[in-house]
Amino acid sequence: MSSGSYVLKVIDRYGCNLIDTIQLVEPPPYLVDLGDDLHLILGQEVILHASSTLPTVSGQFWFEGQVICDLSCDGDPYIPYKTSTLKWVARSERGCLASDSIQVIVDNVVKTFAPNIFTPNGDGINDYFLPLTNKNIVKGISSFMIFDRFGGVVYEAKNLFPNDLTQGWDGTRHGLPADQGIYLYKVDIVLINDETVNLAGDILLLR
């Protein structure tokens, strides 16, 4: 029944009747809200939380089309790996259903550090060259290559651990010390979301 005024008439078994007017008020709607869309950098957390106009007894958080948590996770952090839709589907104590969705945009921002010069002279300082990354979002390095100024391959390595300098270039070529000069490098970095970022630059080798 919709809200409004209704006439109530009651007749008992003796024929006595009572007529009265009652006001039927529509209950407040059950609404949930996840807030505004989010713009994150890969590795940042989002707090799983949705407000509601009435008490919520059950619900599910969805991301990338899959359930990631239920009502017990409300207020917990979650790290999204890719851009997708975060959805909250909930039920009130009266059995009403409500949902809300927001867009979560995740940018693959990789911070790297690569020195301009390295000195592979065996003194234990700056003897290896490998670009360093923010390790918390990097799964590994699928390929690392060094080229001379003519494009010739000087060094190549695959499937390296991030930030392990001992797996980097030691300044040799075919087992012999490489000449001083500027070399080019190319590195393919695999992120925790399985996407690959390609970086390139140059390095000056001094002895």
Q: Give which of 101, 33, 27, 98 is closest to 59, Cα–Cα.
A: 98
Reported as a single tens digit per residue, the pLDDT across 6-31 is 777 888 778 788 888 887 777 789 99
C-alpha–C-alpha distance, residues 105 and 124, integer Å? 43
Question: Cα separation of 43 and 81, whole Å?
Answer: 7
Q: Which residue range(s) make up the domain with 139? A: 112-205
User: What is the count of structural domains for the chain?
Assistant: 2
β-pairing verdict for 32-33 and 51-52: antiparallel
Q: What is the mean pLDDT of residues 164-175?
A: 93
Check whether residue 77 and residue 136 sit in a common domain: no
Q: Are 81 and 123 members of one domain?
A: no
* Residue at a domain's end among 107, 136, 152: 107
Structural domain contains residue 9: no
Tokens of 204: 């000056």
The reply to whether 124 and 83 lie within a common domain is no
Q: Quick one: pLDDT at residue 1?
A: 63
CB 138 within 8 A of CB 162: yes
Per residue in 83-135, pLDDT (tens digit) is 999 999 999 999 999 999 999 999 998 888 999 999 998 888 899 999 999 88
Q: Per-residue pLDDT for 190 more than 90?
A: yes
Tell me the pLDDT of the chain averaged across its residues. 92
Q: Are 127 and 119 in contact (CB under 8 A)?
A: yes
Please check whether residues 56 and 122 belong to one and the same domain.
no
